[in-house]
Amino acid sequence: MSSRGLRQEEADAGSVLAAVLGGTWEGRDVHATSRTPDIAVLMPDGRAIIVEVTLVINERRQKRNQAAFKRFPPDDRLLRDWMVVLQDKHSSRFDKTIPRLVEALQVLESDGVSHAGINWLHERWPPQPELPTPGTDSATARDTLRDLDVELARSPSERSDPNGGQVELAFVVPPGASYWDLSTLVAERVAAKRTKLLNAVADARHLFVWLDQTEPEAYLAAVTSDARIPRFILPTGVDVVWVATRYFPGFTSADVGGVSVQRLLQITRSGMWETVPLDRFGSR
């Protein structure tokens, strides 16, 4: 394994595929040329799988999200850390939001609740606790989260901190899952990388796509149901396409070859999308 001269996403893809396929990997495009594929996965039977790696990211949204992300000092009213995702319309007035938010989270902690919100990723979340009795503090706290347009409030850690819990805020435009968007993004990357893969001498040619949450519609489609993604016939020269999403705060991910992966999808020559089981890898 050698990552010298490679971008981080290329080295991470090599680690993931080596762990999933049971081989080792090495960097090939260490000089960033336009003709050499990025990495090769070497299998125990002697086969060499050439892999081109690409990253799907919306840089404009990334800059906006980074500017809007806020981390607050520990608050002694909270025992645990919380990751809270609010709708983007609150990004300019979060200082007014925090006092009400902390009061609601304090009530959730006392009731033993570790997650709540509008649940736009409900298919990937554990079941919600039983709804509280109307008029109780717990019901009022949930009403507050709804009034504040909290998409997600989650405490991923079981630990209690005597110094107080820390709240991290992120802001999103609530998406709807678009399976066509995901398929279209992958098709564009296949078209862009196909010639490079075709020119490589290899036993198999794979494309590895890292999908960032700054493409929320496609990202949501990737982390929900592979059964609804349109069938995609791979062109000659591309044998397998992998689509991976990374860790997102508040959600479980797997440690695959030392890389945090939330979801891994695969498209083979059959054109069908399949979710790659990650249960055999430890969680993060």
The pLDDT tens digits for 115-129 are: 776 654 443 344 444
User: How much of the chain, in percent, has pLDDT values that exceed 90?
Assistant: 31
In terms of pLDDT, which residue wins out, 26 or 79?
26
Residue 141: how many other CB atoms lie within 10 Å: 25
Residue 178: band (very low, low, confident or very high) from pLDDT cuts 50, 70, 90: confident
Per-residue model confidence (pLDDT) at position 123: 39
Per-residue model confidence (pLDDT) at position 109: 86
Q: Checking phi first, is residue 254 left (phi over 0); if not, alpha (psi -120 to 50) or beta?
A: beta
Instruction: Report the relative pairing of strands 24-27 and 39-42 from DSSP bridges.
Output: antiparallel
Reply yes or no on whether the pLDDT at 110 is more than 60. Answer: yes
Reply yes or no on whether the pLDDT at 208 is more than 60. Answer: yes
Mean pLDDT of 185-191: 92
Q: pLDDT tens across 80-95, in order? A: 888 787 776 666 666 7
Reply yes or no on whether the pLDDT at 264 is more than 90. Answer: yes
Reply yes or no on whether the pLDDT at 189 is more than 70. Answer: yes
Total length of the chain: 284
Q: Are 184 and 232 in contact (CB under 8 A)?
A: no
In terms of pLDDT, which residue wins out, 249 or 126?
249
Q: pLDDT tens across 136-167, in order? A: 787 788 888 888 888 778 886 666 667 788 88
Mean pLDDT of 221-243: 85
Per-residue model confidence (pLDDT) at position 127: 44
Instruction: Give the DSSP per-residue string, 116-167.
Output: ES--TTGGGSPPPPPPPPTTSHHHHHHHHHHHTTEEEEE-------TT-B-E
Instruction: Give the DSSP per-residue string, 218-239.
Output: HHHHHHS-GGGSPP-PPPTT--
Residue 270, CA atoms < 13 Å, CB-side half-sphere: 5
Per-residue model confidence (pLDDT) at position 124: 39
Q: State the Cα–Cα distance between residues 23 and 54, nearest whole angstrom.
A: 21
Q: pLDDT tens across 25-76, in order? A: 998 865 555 678 899 999 999 999 999 999 988 767 666 665 556 667 778 8
Name the pTM for this structure.
Answer: 0.70
Classify residue 96 as exposed, middle or buried by CB count within 10 Å of its CB (0-12, 13-18, 19+).
Answer: exposed
Mean pLDDT of 7-11: 92
In terms of pLDDT, which residue wins out, 268 or 176?
268
Residue 188: band (very low, low, confident or very high) from pLDDT cuts 50, 70, 90: very high
